[in-house]
Chain A
Amino acid sequence: MSTTESHVHGIGQSIKRKEDDRFIRGKGTYVDDISLPGMLHMAILRSPLAHAKLVSIDTTAAAALDGVVAVITGADLAAHNLAWMPTLSGDTQAVFVTDKVRFQGQEVAAVVAESAYVAYDALDLIEVEYDPLDVIVDPRKALEAGAPLIRDEKEDQTDNRCYHWESGDKGATDAAFAKAAVVVSLDTHYPRCHPAPLETCGIVADVNPATGKATLHLTSQAPHAHRTLFAIVAGLPEQNIQIKTPDIGGGFGNKVPIYPGYVAATAASLLIGRPVKWIESRSENLISTGFARDFHMSGDLALDNDGKMLALRVKLVSDNGAFFADAQPTKFRAGLFHIVTGSYDMPVAHIEADGAYTNKAPGGVAYRCSFRVTEASYLIERLVQNAAYELGTDPAALRFKNFIKPEQFPYKSATGFEYDSGDYPRALELALEQLGYNQLRQEQKKLREEGKLLGIGIASFTEVVGAGKSKEYDIAGLKMFDSAELRVHPTGKAILKIGVQTQGQGHETTFAQIVASELGIPSEDVVVQYGDTDNVPYGLGTYASRSTPVAGAATAVIARKLREKGRTLAAHLLEVSEEDLEWETDHFSVKGAPDKKVSIQDVAFAAYTNMPDGMEPGLEGVHYYDPPNMTYPFGSYLVAVEVDEGTGEWKVRRMVAVDDCGVRINPMIVEGQIHGGLTEGYAIAAMQLIDFDEEGNCIGGNFTDYLIPTAWETPHFETHETVTPSPHHPIGAKGVGESATVGSPAAYVNAVVDAVRHLGVTNIDMPVTSAKVWQAIQDAKT
C-alpha cells in the first residue's frame, strides 16, 4: 500500500470500526431501546406440548385483568386472514395455532397490555385445553410409512416429506463406485444448533391509524425482503410499510425469517391503533426461532489404490421441523449442500436429500453459513480424514493428492459450481508449517507409547458465498442481487446507502473503505446507511456472506461510475481533455504535469457549482449489482488436542487457521470475523445442541443447557492468510463472515478422533462432549 493511498483509509487498512464508539459507550439503539408514546407490550403464550389438538382457549380471565388491552388467539387472526403466513421456502407456517400444535413452544395466543409485567401475568390466566397426539422427533421415523401426519392441513400432503432433491450424476457415480478399490463411509449427524444472537428477536410495530403508515422497528437481517413479504402477508400497500432496523445485536441467520411475533404485534398495532412492542425472552428465542443444521448424513467416498478420489455419494435426511422455513434459494431445497465435493478434484458425485417434517421448531437457517455449506464441508472433511486412515496415508498427504490444482481454476465441479479461484496447496502448506505438523506427529507417536492421547485434525474447506447470480438464485421469488447508492455532497463528503444490513459485521467502516479506495474520499468522510426501507435502495439483506461479494461490488461499481463523471468535471476544471487526465488515489492530474491537478473534493464542488454545459448536475448514483458468479473463499484449519482417557475431557493445545478470502478490505475486521467463527465452530463441535426428548420437549431452551463458550474454554487462535483474489469481483474480495464456522467444526472433531482412532474409534458425533469421547473409548475397547 503506497503512502499516498493510506491517508484516505481505504482497502487494506485496519482502521478502527466506526460503530464501536457507540457500542462500547452504551449509546447504541436496539429494538428494545425504542419506546414510543402510548406504546403497549405484547407477550406470547406458547404450547407446552409438541403435538396436540387445540380443543379450546378461554381468555376471559386474562382479558379481565387490569391493564390488559387485548388477548389475541389464532381464531382472531384467522378472522383477519392472518392465521397462516408464507415461509421463505414456499411453505406456510401458522402464526398462531388454529387447528393443532406442531411443536413445543409454538405460538398459541398473545396478550397486549399496558406493561410487560401485566402481559405476562395475564398469560398465566389463559386456559387452553389440548388433546395430545403422537409426537415424532426423529426425521427418519417421520419418513416411515404410517407415521402420524404432522401437516394434515396441507392439501396433497400425505406423508411427512417436505422435499426430495438430487444433485449430480447418479449413473456415473454408481459406475465409479463399482470400479473403486476403496470405499470409505461415514454416517453422521450434524446436530441441531442455534445461532443464539445476543439480542433476541423483537419488534416495535407502529401503525398510524390516521395515515395508515406502518413503521416496523424490527430485528431484521433483510429489511427490504421483509417489507415485501409483509406487504404480501398482511395485504398492506408496500409504500405504506417502512421497516427500520436500528442496531442489531447479532443475527447469524436467526433474523432472516419472519416470525409469528412480528406479524401478531403488527396486527395488534393495526387493530388497536397504538404502537406495540414485542421482545422475545432468551428461552423463546432458543425454542421457537430459526434453528440451524440437523442433517443426518451418510457419505461414501470412492478412491483408487493410490488414494485418488473417484466419486462421492451422499444420502441425507434433513429435519426441518414443523414448517419448511429454511431461508435459502428457491431452486436448492437442501441449500448449497452440493458444494460437498469441497476442495477436491472429484470426477463425479451424487447427492440425494429428503426433508422431513417433525414436531420441532422450524428454521433451518443458514447459521453463519452459506445455505448448508457447513454441513457439506463437515461431511467431506470428516470423510477425507477417515479415508486417510483407511488407506494408511497421512491425512495431509491425501488432501494434497486430491486438491483442485491452482491451474485448474476456474474449476467446474461435478455438481455444477464454477469455483472462481483458489490455491489450496499453498494454504495447507502454510498451516502445516505454522503448526510444525511433522514434529507434532512424532510427539503424538511418543506420547501414545506413554499412554497419553494427542490428536491432530485437519479441515481444508471451500466455501461458496455471495448469492446470486439472479438467474439461479432467488429467495421467495426475489432475485438475489444487491445495491448501493452513493451521494457525494458539494463539500466532498458522502453518504453511501446499501441494500444489505449490518448486524455486527462493521459495514459502516468497510463499505466506507471501498468508497475511499475507489473515489478517494477518506473513509471517515463517508457515512454508510442501511436498514431503513424508506431510505436505502432495495436489497436482499445480509446472510450467507453476501454483503461484500454483492453490495460491496455494487459500491465499487457506483464509486467508479461517479469517478468517471468526476473525470469529465476535472477535464472541465483543468481545461484539458479527459484523455489527458490520470487518476491517483484522490485526485485527477494532467499527464506529464502532475502539479496541474484537482482533488475529488474540488470535483464534487464543481458538480454543484461549476458543471460544464449540458451536464446533469450533482454527483450521485445508484447501482444494482447482479454478480456473475459466487465467490469461493477457502482455507486450511489445523487443530491439536489432548484427550484425558480417564474422563474423556479434551483440550485444544493449538489451533492454526489459514484463511483466504481474497482481498481483505479491513484486515482487523477480517480477523475478528475469523475469531468469532472459530469460536462458534468450537462451540458447535464441543458443546452446543438443541435436543429433544421423545415427547418433543426441547432440552436446551436456555443458556444453562445451550452452552456458549467463555474466553476460558475458547482456544487460542493462530491466524494466517493467503490472498487469492476473486477474478470476477470488482475489488477481488470474497466473503469471510462464515468461513471459520463452516470450516472449523470438522477440524476439531477430526483432532479428537485422531487422538483415539488407534483405540478403534472412527466417529464421534457433535457435540463432542467428554462423555461421548469416554463412551467411544469404552465401546471401542469392548
Chain B
Amino acid sequence: MFPSRFDYSAPDSLDEALATLGQRADETKVLAGGQSLIPLLKLRFAAPATLVDINRIPGLDVLEESNGHLRIGTLARHNQLAADSLVGRRYPTIASAAPQIADPLVRNLGTIGGSLAHGDPAGDWGSVMLALNAEVVVRGPTGERRIPIDDFLVDIFTTSLNEDEIVTEVLVPQPEGSFGGAYLKLERKVGDFATVGVAVHLELDGDTIARAGLGLTAVGSRNIKPTNAENALGGNKCSDELFAEAARLAAEAADPVSDVRGPATYKRAVVEAYVKRGLAEARDQARARAGRT
C-alpha cells in the first residue's frame, strides 16, 4: 500500500490552516484522525497534492456544556466521547454510539468532525447528530457558519462544507425533562461499518413525548432523518402501538440497497425492529431518570 506523493503541512493555528487550504483548496485535504482519508490514499482512490494536518491546532478538542449546548470540538476522538462522564450522564445516544464505532485503534484516532465531513452514509455520527438536532460549526475565509446537521449532510460522501472551509465544532442541544437515548447497530463483526444503525433520542414530559429524534445509518445515500416517524411520536403518550407505528414509518423512510450486508427488505425490517427496541429502551431510561429526580 503505497500512496502517491503529497505535500504535508501541520500548522498550529486555524488561520494558518485556512490559509494553506485556501491556496489550492481543490487539491488539498484536511487531515484529522486519518481513519478514512489514509485508507483512501493508500488505495490510491484519493491523491491530493497537499494534506493540512489540523491535529496540532489547540482548542479543537473542547468538550463542554455552554449556552444551552454541548460543544464538541471537531478533533474530539470517538474514544474521548465514549469515555467522557458528562456525555455518559447527559447524552446517552452519543455515549451508546461511540463505543460501537469501528475498533479501539480507530476510535483512538478517528474524530467526530472528520466523520461528519467525510459524509459516509454508513457513518454512525451522522445519525446520532440527526436524532439530536445538532449543528455543525465551520470556519472559512469569510468567517463562521452554523449549519444544521440535516443541511450539512447532502449525499454520499458529499456535505455542504465548501472546499476552503474547516469544521471546528459540533453543537448538540442540551436535553430537557427526563430523557433517554440509544444507538442500535447491526454489524457483521466488531469494527465493521453498520449494516443498519438506528439512533434514538426521547425527551418525556410525564409519559408524553416532548421531543423525539431519530436517525438512520447505512440505509440511504446519506444518514436519514425519518421526520414522519418523529412527528408521529411527538406530543403523544408512550405506548407499544405508538412505537410500532413510528417504527413502521421509519422503515418507510429508509431507502436501503441490497448488497453484501443483506437485501434491502432485510435492512428495512431491521430498521423497524431496532426503532421499536430503541424507543422502548429510551423510554425506560427516561422513566428511570424521572424516577430518580
Q: Which residues of A contact B (CB under 8 A)?
A: 43, 116-117, 119-121, 124, 281-283, 646-649, 687, 689, 691, 699-700, 704-705, 707-710, 712-713, 769-772, 774-775
Nearest CB in chain A: distance from B101 CB, A: 14
Asked if B270 and A704 make an inter-chain contact with CB atoms under 8 angstroms apart, the answer reads no
Interface residues of B in 223-270 (CB under 8 A from A): 260-263, 266, 269-270
Q: Can you report 16 residue pairs joining A to B where beta carbons are below 8 Å apart?
A: A43-B2, A116-B2, A119-B2, A121-B4, A121-B5, A281-B1, A282-B1, A646-B269, A647-B186, A647-B269, A687-B189, A700-B260, A704-B192, A710-B103, A771-B266, A774-B266
Q: Which residues of A contact B14 (CB under 8 A)?
A: none
Q: Quick one: given A646-B273, A769-B262, A774-B266, are A709 and B195 in contact (CB under 8 Å)?
A: no
B288 at the interface (CB under 8 A from A): no
Asked if B260 and A699 make an inter-chain contact with CB atoms under 8 angstroms apart, the answer reads yes
Asked if A707 and B186 make an inter-chain contact with CB atoms under 8 angstroms apart, the answer reads no
Q: Which residues of B contact A (CB under 8 A)?
A: 1-2, 4-5, 43-44, 103, 186, 188-193, 195, 260-263, 266, 269-270, 273-274
Asked if A775 and B1 make an inter-chain contact with CB atoms under 8 angstroms apart, the answer reads no
Q: Which residues of B contact A707 (CB under 8 A)?
A: 188-189, 192
Asked if A117 and B2 make an inter-chain contact with CB atoms under 8 angstroms apart, the answer reads yes
Q: A646-B270, A769-B188 are in contact. List 4 more A-B contacts (CB 8 A).
A: A117-B2, A770-B262, A771-B261, A771-B262
Asked if B260 and A705 make an inter-chain contact with CB atoms under 8 angstroms apart, the answer reads yes
Q: A119 to B189, alpha carbons, bound, how many Å? A: 35
Q: A315 to B158, alpha carbons, bound, how many Å? A: 51
Asked if A647 and B191 make an inter-chain contact with CB atoms under 8 angstroms apart, the answer reads no
Q: A575 to B30, alpha carbons, bound, how many Å? A: 85
Q: Which residues of B contact A649 (CB under 8 A)?
A: 186
Asked if B270 and A647 make an inter-chain contact with CB atoms under 8 angstroms apart, the answer reads yes
Q: A121 to B5, alpha carbons, bound, how many Å? A: 9
Q: A699 to B261, alpha carbons, bound, how many Å? A: 12
Q: A751 to B280, alpha carbons, bound, how many Å? A: 30
Q: Which residues of B contact A281 (CB under 8 A)?
A: 1
Nearest CB in chain A: distance from B124 CB, A: 15
User: Considering only CB atoms, which chain B residue lies closest to A646 in the complex?
Assistant: B273
Q: Quick one: given A120-B2, A281-B1, A774-B269, are A713 and B190 in contact (CB under 8 Å)?
A: yes
User: Considering only CB atoms, which chain B residue lies closest to A282 in the complex?
Assistant: B1
The A/B interface has a contact count, at CB < 8 Å, of 64
Q: Which residues of B contact A124 (CB under 8 A)?
A: 44
User: Considering only CB atoms, which chain B residue lies closest to A115 in the complex?
Assistant: B2
Q: A283 to B45, alpha carbons, bound, how many Å? A: 14
Which 6 pairs between the two chains have the least Cβ-Cβ distance? Answer: A771-B262, A646-B273, A712-B190, A120-B2, A771-B266, A710-B190
Nearest CB in chain A: distance from B26 CB, A: 20
Q: Which residues of B contact A689 (CB under 8 A)?
A: 260
Q: A500 to B78, alpha carbons, bound, how many Å? A: 47
Asked if A770 and B186 make an inter-chain contact with CB atoms under 8 angstroms apart, the answer reads yes
Nearest CB in chain B: distance from A765 CB, A: 14
Q: Which residues of A contact B191 (CB under 8 A)?
A: 710
Q: A771 to B186, alpha carbons, bound, how many Å? A: 10
Q: A682 to B221, alpha carbons, bound, how many Å? A: 33
Q: Which residues of A contact B195 (CB under 8 A)?
A: 770-771
User: Considering only CB atoms, which chain B residue lies closest to A687 in the complex?
Assistant: B188
Nearest CB in chain B: distance from A105 CB, A: 14
In this complex, which of A117, A771, A775 has the most chain B Cβ atoms within 10 angstroms of its Cβ? A771
Q: Which residues of A contact B186 (CB under 8 A)?
A: 647, 649, 770
Nearest CB in chain B: distance from A34 CB, A: 18
Q: A283 to B43, alpha carbons, bound, how many Å? A: 10
Q: A691 to B262, alpha carbons, bound, how many Å? A: 13
In this complex, which of A116, A691, A774 has the most chain B Cβ atoms within 10 angstroms of its Cβ? A774
Q: A772 to B261, alpha carbons, bound, how many Å? A: 10
Q: A121 to B189, alpha carbons, bound, how many Å? A: 34
Q: A770 to B195, alpha carbons, bound, how many Å? A: 10
Nearest CB in chain B: distance from A82 CB, A: 26
Q: A43 to B1, alpha carbons, bound, how many Å? A: 11
Nearest CB in chain B: distance from A561 CB, A: 51
Q: A771 to B258, alpha carbons, bound, how many Å? A: 11
Nearest CB in chain A: distance from B273 CB, A: 4
Q: A748 to B192, alpha carbons, bound, how many Å? A: 22
Q: Which residues of B contact A116 (CB under 8 A)?
A: 2
Nearest CB in chain B: distance from A764 CB, A: 13
Asked if A710 and B189 make an inter-chain contact with CB atoms under 8 angstroms apart, the answer reads yes
In this complex, which of A646, A649, A689 has the most chain B Cβ atoms within 10 angstroms of its Cβ? A646
User: Considering only CB atoms, which chain B residue lies closest to A767 in the complex?
Assistant: B188
Q: A774 to B263, alpha carbons, bound, how many Å? A: 10
Nearest CB in chain B: distance from A173 CB, A: 39
User: Considering only CB atoms, which chain A residue lies closest to B184 in the complex?
Assistant: A647
Q: Which residues of A contact B43 (CB under 8 A)?
A: 283
Q: Which residues of A contact B190 (CB under 8 A)?
A: 710, 712-713
Asked if A713 and B189 make an inter-chain contact with CB atoms under 8 angstroms apart, the answer reads yes
Nearest CB in chain A: distance from B264 CB, A: 10
Q: Which residues of A contact B273 (CB under 8 A)?
A: 646-647
Q: A775 to B266, alpha carbons, bound, how many Å? A: 7
Q: A591 to B192, alpha carbons, bound, how many Å? A: 68
